[in-house]
Amino acid sequence: MSDARVDLNADTQNDEARLQLLETVAKLPNLPGVYRYFDAQDHVLYVGKARDLKKRVSSYFQKTLSSPRIAMMVGKISRLETTVTRSEAEALILENTLIKTLRPRYNILFRDDKSYPYLKITNEQSPRMTYYRGAIDKKHQYFGPFPSAWAVKESMQLLQKIFLLRSCEDSVFANRTRPCLLHQIQRCSAPCVDFITHEDYLVDVDNAAKFLRGRQSEVMQNLESKMLGFAEQLKFEQAALVRNQMSALSKILHQQSMETTGDSDIDVIAVIVEGGRACVNLAMVRGGRHLGDRAYFPSQVAEVEAMSDESIDVAVLTAFLAQHYADQFIPSQLILNIEFDAPDLMLALMAQCGHKIHCSFQPQEQRRAWLEMAVKGAQLSLARMLSEQGSQQSRTRSLCLALELEVDDIDQLRIECFDISHTQGEATQASCVVFHHHAMQNSEYRRFNIKDITPGDDYAAMRQVIHRRYEKMSVTRPLDAGGDADMASIPVMPDVVLIDGGKGQVEVARQVFEELGLDVSLIVGVCKGEGRRVGLETLVFVDGRAAKELGKESAALMLIAQIRDEAHRFAITGMRAKRAKARQTSQLEEIEGVGPKRRQRLLVRFGGLKGVADASIEDLIAVEGISRVLAEEIYKRLR
């Protein structure tokens, strides 16, 4: 690949700049590639691919554009970057990698979800099955991905019923002297105490893997041969155990007979667009078993609606296929509710996964039923999301009215809330949580360790956190910041600063704001009511407005209480973690002869202070640097 970077004048309305822009675009090559548009603040506006860069990019700078949205975006373009690729398929892969990385404002964005769970069978002397999330490797066997944790656990329960595989940790397995409860309820064959031979256990593991791959008939034949072999050897107890396995498997297969279709791996994808929002419902079939579905809600659909030559539902489907399967397992069959023609996309996906992919738009029989279920699921999920979104917007609007806020776009309302937490002055921490786009933004939460104050002085703690949070922030919001994904990295003042506390904490916040030259009208204090009951809070202002009691029926107060409670939760969990860490090392620090290195070795060796306290003198001596005299002192002091 080769990169070209072109700087454009920020003001495209200027005739001279317009001519320079057109001259630059005219020099682009007639080659496939990817282009990126940036605005004056260097925010990414749009990422696109092209079979012919010059032809595609030039179309954006015509005198008449087909859409007001495109014209609006073109008016913001300040800089252009292009990357030439060897093929359009390569451009498509790069385009969606950049979309997921840069999160441009005018592209359809799907949440980068890499948390799909798997069922893992380990490669050990006595393999175990376990629930797993994360990167997969070739050392162990992984089955999935599954759409939910519930689907994995259900499959694990089936394997326990039929094949009696172990699920215990290696540390438990290695130290068993008698079977556990799972063996007693016939969910494990107890390989830990040799109640089953190693060879027979490995056969069960192999059969379980075949079952997960959809080869149930082969598993049944193997079990039948195994049972007959035991019977011929007059090993009737073993034959009876295998018979029970076959009975359990037959029951499971009978229950699933209406839900399976061969041993196929299939993804069923339904796209529904309504009310300016879209839902993609993905149902997974693995080894012929329908494992459930998961709904996805792409963002920025309304912004993108007129940016593509395709219909919006096809654009959503294309974006989902390209972004979702960029780093996920791609089955050989896709069942879709929307017909689309994207040969370059399918060629790129097939080149990535190494096998053919067949797309079906009019499936029959059981597969048709699956598609209908997926479409219905998408419709219900989208209706529920739109209803919840309307409710969230209503609460935000009520809050704006209650606080007399003049906000042009309530979607952009930003609230930051602060709380202080400590235990009688110990491990003081402050929290800052953020409410934006009608929801709590967990990725923007911040914790502050409070230092150099009198323990228990909440006013000093509040002064320190407010000063540290806003000392480097600009007074006004940057123009056209909108909902860009990189907003979290830009210092921006919120529309409301909530202080969880009464007049004292609010007065401290006011003093800091005045010192920093900030608008004190942003500050709102939340005083707890009688008995600290939700609904009896009083809102306190510092700009001359009278205090307000909204009442427990107020939607605005319920939203304020939610934000305040989230700040309290975030502060107290951080404080407890800090306190536990401090207490964990404090007792060891008081023992003469136990320095930082020895303390670390002890904590790592025994997994924490409790483990050190439970260790014997001989166990302590085994740690590097611990003499018998020191071990006896540690043993005595921690008892």
* Tens digit of each residue's pLDDT (9 = 90 or more) over 501-531: 778 888 999 999 998 888 888 999 988 766 5
Q: 362: buried, middle or exposed (CB in 10 Å: 19+, 13-18, 0-12)?
A: exposed
For the cut 60, the answer to whether the pLDDT of residue 178 exceeds it is yes
Phi/psi at 588 (5° precision): -70, -35
Angle at 538 between CA 537 and CA 542, to 5 degrees: 145
User: DSSP state, 616?
Assistant: -
Least confident interval from 15-19, 300-304, 314-318: 15-19
pLDDT over 70 percentage in the chain: 83
For the cut 80, the answer to whether the pLDDT of residue 81 exceeds it is yes
Model confidence band, residue 371 (pLDDT cutoffs 50, 70, 90): very high
- The tokens for 33 are 């590639």
Contact 415, 426 (CB under 8 A): no
Q: Is 593 or 127 the better-scoring residue by pLDDT?
A: 127
Neighbour count for residue 526 (Cβ, 10 Å): 24
For the cut 80, the answer to whether the pLDDT of residue 609 exceeds it is no
The residues, any chain, with a CB within 8 Å of residue 194's CB and separated by 6 or more, are none
Q: What is the CATH number of domain 410-478+488-578?
A: 3.30.420.340
DSSP assignment of 132-157, as one string? Answer: EES---SSSEEE---SSHHHHHHHHH
Model confidence band, residue 67 (pLDDT cutoffs 50, 70, 90): low
Least confident interval from 61-70, 235-244, 307-316, 462-471: 61-70
Q: What integer pLDDT is reported at residue 335 of this predicted model?
A: 93
Neighbour count for residue 409 (Cβ, 10 Å): 8
Q: Is 229 or 37 the better-scoring residue by pLDDT?
A: 37
Neighbour count for residue 222 (Cβ, 10 Å): 16
Averaged pLDDT, 608-627:
83
- Summarised one tens digit per residue, pLDDT across range 415-452 is 999 988 876 666 688 889 999 888 888 888 988 888 88
Helices assigned H by DSSP within 305-364:
312-324, 343-353
When the pLDDT of each residue in the chain is averaged and rounded to a whole number, the result is 79
Q: Give dist(CA 206, CA 8) in Å, integer.
A: 62
Q: 211: buried, middle or exposed (CB in 10 Å: 19+, 13-18, 0-12)?
A: buried
- Summarised one tens digit per residue, pLDDT across range 230-262 is 777 787 777 777 777 677 666 655 444 444 445
Contact 485, 103 (CB under 8 A): yes
User: DSSP state, 545?
Assistant: P
For the cut 90, the answer to whether the pLDDT of residue 602 exceeds it is no
For the cut 80, the answer to whether the pLDDT of residue 410 exceeds it is yes
For the cut 80, the answer to whether the pLDDT of residue 497 exceeds it is yes
358 three-state secondary structure: strand
- Summarised one tens digit per residue, pLDDT across range 131-154 is 888 777 788 888 877 877 888 888
Neighbour count for residue 326 (Cβ, 10 Å): 17
Model confidence band, residue 187 (pLDDT cutoffs 50, 70, 90): confident
Q: What integer pLDDT is reported at residue 115 of this predicted model?
A: 66
Model confidence band, residue 210 (pLDDT cutoffs 50, 70, 90): confident
For the cut 80, the answer to whether the pLDDT of residue 21 exceeds it is no
Q: 262: buried, middle or exposed (CB in 10 Å: 19+, 13-18, 0-12)?
A: exposed
Averaged pLDDT, 215-229:
76
Contacts within 8 Å (CB) and 24+ apart, 533-539: 534/558, 534/561, 535/561, 537/561, 537/564, 539/402, 539/403
Task: State the pTM of this model.
Answer: 0.59
Angle at 203 between CA 118 and CA 166, to 5 degrees: 50
Classify strands 289-296 and 523-527 as parallel, antiparallel or unpaired: unpaired
Q: Give dist(CA 421, CA 563) in Å, integer.
A: 16
Averaged pLDDT, 120-134:
88
Classify strands 426-436 and 79-84 as parallel, antiparallel or unpaired: unpaired
Domain spanning 2-102: CATH 3.50.50.100 = no
Q: Give dist(CA 357, CA 332) in Å, integer.
A: 4
Half-sphere exposure of 56 (CA within 13 A, CB side): 21
CATH 3.30.420.340 segments of the chain? 266-383, 410-478+488-578
Given the structure tokens 């209706």, which residue do they identify? 383
Neighbour count for residue 426 (Cβ, 10 Å): 13
Contact 626, 634 (CB under 8 A): yes
Half-sphere exposure of 496 (CA within 13 A, CB side): 33
CATH 3.40.1440.10 segments of the chain? 2-102
How many residues would you count in the chain? 639
Options 3.30.420.340, 3.30.230.10, 3.40.50.620, 3.40.50.2300; CATH for 266-383 is: 3.30.420.340
Angle between helices 555-589 and 365-402 (to 10 degrees): 100
For the cut 60, the answer to whether the pLDDT of residue 488 exceeds it is no
Options 1.10.150.20, 3.30.565.10, 3.40.50.800, 1.10.10.10; CATH for 590-637 is: 1.10.150.20
Q: What integer pLDDT is reported at residue 328 of this predicted model?
A: 75
Q: Omega before 145 cis (within 30°)?
A: yes
Q: Give dist(CA 292, CA 374) in Å, integer.
A: 10
CATH 1.10.150.20 segments of the chain? 590-637
Averaged pLDDT, 596-607:
80
Which amino acid, 207? Answer: N
Q: Give dist(CA 217, CA 223) in Å, integer.
A: 10
Averaged pLDDT, 263-270:
84
